[in-house]
């Protein structure tokens, strides 16, 4: 192994160690036994390979292929006798460490451009090099964007964020086979979710444009395009088969909205939308924000960040022709401008029209997600600022360490209460025994299942102190759970919805609430009939066989008690759950009326096609990883 290669490997190990320490501090709460259950983060003991997991239900395929990957991984763990509950927490930790290592590699790319003595080379320069990387590596994991997305439950999105950090490292300087294979693997992993896929594709395209020298960009572009097509196939095919709109949805029915205004970037106290976005914050849901970011401290943190950018600006300008700088800084500026504009009246109107008219454009409505594309540039800014201060104050390696520690303190100050907020909210839960009993009754049986109270979210003291939680029933029961997917946001002086959906407030108090409609029209009709207290035979005619009342959850139940009186049969009941079975419609069986709105569920052929698409995604990821690892080990 050559000396430079050995040095880079040692540096990567150091960065991984730092990333592991930071990740442990942030995700320590997930080491407690139990399944993560917070807002959109729903982990269950036995996730079923249902139509919903495949993206063939009424709801858009937003968590495809993530849900199927979790199902497969859960079954493998169970088969070998390992516990399932740590799965998503461990994957999240892996993504965080990946982020840290990629950030360190990005800084090493520009080492020759950093102010002062060379940041590469043998000891004692290696100490200085590690010091210059320290703030950047810590920042990659400990920042408002990552923390807020974790609090929202978007654990798998971090794979896309890590891929964004990785693409300039692998593609912005050269496109050798090893680098292209690694970039394809990163893209495939980012494809756990459609949004992660979009982030990775954008980052890869920009990095390829910025390649220096005579690198064979055409071959790299073809390889990445093929990988992108294979990794998008699961959710694209599911969307086509289900006949819905592509992941993210479009304009809702029943008087709802597209959700563009509700999901626009949010202004934090004292710094406005622009300041929030530049600071890598501004998530739409104010309840998925650490307490420190909801106070005047957000302004202090922004001032510190602007000082960092001011210190870094001269060095970044001198290095403006470096491929890594060209692939990151202009993208960050463009993203900041576009995300801020998308939160203005004209921007909301334009994006609202786009989402309502173009299938798949719903991927764009949560515009703050795209702030992830600004993270690599912010990482570089911290490294350049650290180098500039080090050059001004000291030339000694230990002095560089002191400066790095001080700048790292600035990083931590952006979200000083991140560990506490994540510890308090990412509190794993244990499902009551009633869920196993209900699963034993409904799993694999024909007929659809409705859940009370109405809405997609739950608020129960049994789970994370009553915080909003996406209903786990679809990921716990191997039955067709009808979910309209409606979300009520805004409104309320209380800061949360009244329970109609369990949704959470995106902006400040005092706003009028609005309904962001989901795609489940048939589920909405059946739920409305239940809340009106219709005759159970009306619901049975829609294909509804079961009604599950999650008794400890707050929310509307309407006149459902009228429907659930005799001749309905109570199949199971305990303090948490009650399962009712409706009378079967005369002259029909329960398979009639189920499905994505066409009257039948997904056929065997349709399920096989989508499963094949998932297999293609998995194979593409495995092949790319194998090529990257084998070529690296053979160097």
**pLDDT tens digit string along 517-536?**
665 688 889 999 999 999 99
* Predicted local confidence at residue 500, as pLDDT: 31
Mean of pLDDT values over 349-372: 89
Cis amide leading into 223 (omega within 30) = no
Task: State the DSSP string of 87-116.
Answer: HHHHHHHHHHHHHHHHHHHHHHHTGGGSSS
* Predicted local confidence at residue 356, as pLDDT: 82
Q: Is the pLDDT of residue 510 over 70?
A: no
Mean predicted lDDT score pLDDT of the chain: 87
599 pLDDT tier (thresholds 50, 70, 90): very low
201 pLDDT tier (thresholds 50, 70, 90): very high
- Phi, psi angles (nearest 5°) of residue 29: -60, -25
Q: Is the pLDDT of residue 71 over 80?
A: yes
Mean of pLDDT values over 329-354: 95
Q: Is the pLDDT of residue 503 over 50?
A: no
253 pLDDT tier (thresholds 50, 70, 90): very low
Mean of pLDDT values over 472-480: 93
Q: Pairing between strand 544-550 and 448-452?
A: parallel
* Predicted local confidence at residue 123, as pLDDT: 43
* Predicted local confidence at residue 212, as pLDDT: 58
> What number of CA atoms fall less than 13 Å from residue 26's CA on the CB side?
33
Q: Is the pLDDT of residue 488 over 80?
A: no
DSSP-derived letter for residue 509 is T
Can you say how many angstroms the Cα of residue 587 is from the centroid of all Cα atoms in its chain?
46
Mean of pLDDT values over 396-412: 88
Q: What pLDDT, in 10s, does the model give residues 164-196?
A: 999 999 998 777 888 999 999 999 999 999 999
Encoding tokens for residue 268? 């934090």
* Predicted local confidence at residue 216, as pLDDT: 64
Q: Is the pLDDT of residue 33 over 90?
A: yes
Instruction: Answer whether 243's CB lies under 8 Å from 313's CB.
Output: no
Q: How many residues does the chain have?
A: 635
* Lowest-pLDDT range of 81-95, 366-380, 586-600: 586-600
* Predicted local confidence at residue 249, as pLDDT: 45
Angle CA 340–341–347, to nearest 5: 135
Over pLDDT 90: what percentage of the chain?
69
Instruction: Answer whether 116's CB lies under 8 Å from 131's CB.
Output: no
Instruction: Answer whether 200's CB lies under 8 Å from 163's CB.
Output: yes
What's the CA gap between 607 and 567, in Å, rounded? 35
Q: Pairing between strand 487-489 and 480-481?
A: unpaired
What's the CA gap between 65 and 61, in Å, rounded? 8
Encoding tokens for residue 312? 């870094």
Q: What pLDDT, in 10s, does the model give residues 435-462?
A: 999 999 999 899 999 999 998 999 999 9
Mean of pLDDT values over 405-420: 97
Q: What pLDDT, in 10s, does the model give residues 47-68?
A: 999 998 998 887 778 889 999 9
């Amino acid at each position: 192994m050559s000396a430079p290669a050995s040095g880079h490997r040692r540096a990567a190990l150091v960065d991984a160690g730092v990333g592991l320490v930071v990740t442990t501090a942030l995700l320590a709460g997930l080491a407690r036994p139990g399944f993560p259950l917070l807002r959109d983060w729903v982990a269950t003991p036995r996730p079923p390979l249902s139509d919903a997991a495949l993206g063939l239900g009424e709801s858009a395929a937003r968590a495809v292929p993530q849900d199927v990957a979790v199902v497969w991984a859960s079954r493998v763990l169970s088969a070998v006798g390992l516990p399932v509950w740590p799965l998503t927490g461990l994957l999240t930790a892996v993504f965080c460490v990946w982020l840290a290592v990629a950030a360190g590699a990005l800084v090493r790319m520009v080492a020759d451009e950093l102010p002062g003595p060379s940041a590469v080379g043998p000891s004692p320069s290696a100490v200085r090099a590690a010091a210059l990387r320290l703030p950047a590596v810590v920042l990659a994991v400990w920042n408002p964007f990552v923390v807020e997305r974790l609090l929202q439950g978007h654990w798998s999105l971090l794979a896309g964020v890590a891929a964004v950090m990785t693409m300039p490292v692998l593609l912005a300087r050269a496109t050798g086979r090893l680098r292209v294979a690694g970039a394809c693997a990163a893209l495939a992993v980012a494809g756990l979710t459609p949004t992660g896929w979009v982030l990775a594709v954008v980052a890869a395209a920009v990095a390829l444009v910025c390649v220096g020298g005579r690198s064979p960009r055409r071959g790299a572009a073809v390889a990445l395009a093929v990988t992108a097509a294979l990794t998008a196939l699961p959710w694209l095919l599911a969307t086509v088969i289900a006949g819905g709109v592509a992941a993210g949805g479009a304009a809702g029915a029943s008087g709802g909205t597209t959700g563009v205004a509700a999901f626009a970037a949010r202004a934090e106290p004292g710094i406005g939308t622009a300041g929030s976005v530049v600071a890598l914050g501004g998530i739409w849901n104010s309840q998925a924000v650490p307490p420190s970011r909801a106070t005047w401290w957000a302004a202090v943190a922004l001032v510190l960040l602007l000082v960092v950018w001011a210190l870094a600006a001269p060095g970044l300008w001198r290095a403006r022709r470096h491929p890594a700088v060209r692939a990151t800084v202009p993208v960050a500026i463009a993203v900041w401008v576009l995300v801020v504009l998308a939160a203005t009246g004209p921007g909301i109107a334009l994006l609202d029209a786009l989402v309502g008219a173009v299938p798949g454009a719903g991927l764009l409505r949560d515009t703050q997600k795209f702030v992830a594309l600004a993270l690599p540039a912010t990482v570089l800014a911290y490294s350049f600022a650290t180098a500039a201060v080090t050059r001004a104050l000291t030339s000694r390696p230990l002095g560089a360490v002191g400066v790095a520690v001080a700048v790292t303190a600035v990083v931590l100050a952006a979200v000083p209460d991140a560990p506490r907020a994540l510890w308090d909210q990412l509190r794993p839960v244990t499902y009551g025994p009633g869920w196993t009993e209900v699963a034993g009754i409904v799993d694999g049986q024909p007929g659809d299942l409705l859940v009370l109270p109405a809405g997609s979210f739950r608020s129960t003291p049994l789970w994370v102190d009553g915080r909003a939680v996406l209903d786990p029933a679809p990921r716990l029961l191997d039955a067709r759970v009808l979910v309209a997917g409606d979300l009520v946001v805004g409104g309320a002086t209380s800061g949360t919805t009244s329970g109609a959906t369990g949704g959470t407030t995106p902006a400040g108090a005092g706003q009028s609430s609005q309904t962001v409609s989901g795609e489940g029209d048939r589920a909405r009709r059946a739920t409305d009939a239940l809340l009106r207290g219709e005759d159970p035979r009306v619901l049975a005619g829609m294909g509804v066989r079961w009604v599950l009342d999650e008794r400890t959850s707050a929310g509307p139940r309407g006149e459902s008690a009228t429907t659930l009186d005799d001749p309905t049969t109570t199949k199971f009941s305990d303090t948490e759950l009650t399962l009712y079975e409706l009378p079967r419609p005369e002259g029909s069986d329960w398979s009639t009326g189920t499905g994505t709105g066409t009257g039948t569920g997904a056929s065997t052929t349709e399920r096989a096609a989508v499963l094949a698409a998932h297999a293609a995604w998995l194979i593409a990821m495995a092949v790319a990883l194998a090529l990257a690892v084998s070529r690296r080990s053979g160097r």
